A and B are shown apart, each in its own frame.
Chain A
Amino acid sequence: MIRVQREDFDAGAELERLTAGNHRIGGVGSFIGLVRDMGGSDRVSALTLEHYPGMTERKLAEIEAEARRRWPLDAALIIHRYGRLEPGDRIVLVATASPHREAALAACHFLIDWLKTEAPFWKSEETPAGERWVESRAEDDAAREGWTPTLNV
């Protein structure tokens, strides 16, 4: 399931809902991304996430479908926020559920790595030197390339 929203989310309640009523599930993997107070060597007082409505949901759904092809998942959830956020605020939740931990953990890791390089979101940081767009990181591309074979999404 995919949700793109401005509002915060309650991770505990989301995980509860993800597994409710399905007793085949033996493990849940989850990742929460938070706003950091540093960008490089500069203090970040806030960041604004912009996205491409329509394409964002489409890419996230493709990524989720790919994870489901690769691992036996009983449930998967991606929530990604947009708008202005402050240090400590939650940005993203990825959660996966499966009968066993290996699939849940691997799929969760895969989803966040792919989301970072495929989903059309952009961050702009507010720093003492002014507002600036965050640049993409080579490490993120490398992390995605680690999941072979490459998928053309």
Chain B
Amino acid sequence: MRLLYFAWLRTRVGCAEEEIPLPPQVDNVAGLLDWLGRRSDRHADALRNLGLVRVAVNQDYVGPAHPVREGDEVALFPPVTGG
């Protein structure tokens, strides 16, 4: 699956994008965030406060129970500030 990071999530994780196989036992957004939070110190720091993290799967906003599958594009970012 393809992971994308934007704004301060990108700077804290240290990359804009990474390609990973769907981790074992992960089948939804909450599980993926939990797994990512243990991936590295940088990921742990970026995902420390999940209240500030928005998730889009295949370019649609989703909640923690939304399923994730091999091949999905999953984007993590803070609340938007455009306009």
Contacts and interface: CB of A to CB of B under 8 A. Distances in A.
A153 B62 CA distance: 10
> Contact size class for A?
20 to 34
A122 B81 CA distance: 5
| Interface footprint category on B | 10 to 19
Nearest to B10: A50
A133 B75 CA distance: 18
Contacts of B56: 52, 55, 120
B77 interface: yes
Interface string B59-83: 1010000000000000101111111
Interface string A94-132: 000000000000000000100111111111100000000
A73 B80 CA distance: 27
A54 interface: yes
Contacts, number: 71
A52 to B, nearest CB: 6
B81 A136 contact: yes
A21 to B, nearest CB: 30
Tell me which of B7, B61, B78, B82 has the highest count of chain A C-beta atoms within 10 A of its own C-beta: B82
Interface in B18-70: 56, 59, 61
10 contacts: A51-B6, A54-B59, A92-B83, A115-B82, A118-B80, A120-B6, A121-B82, A121-B83, A122-B77, A133-B78
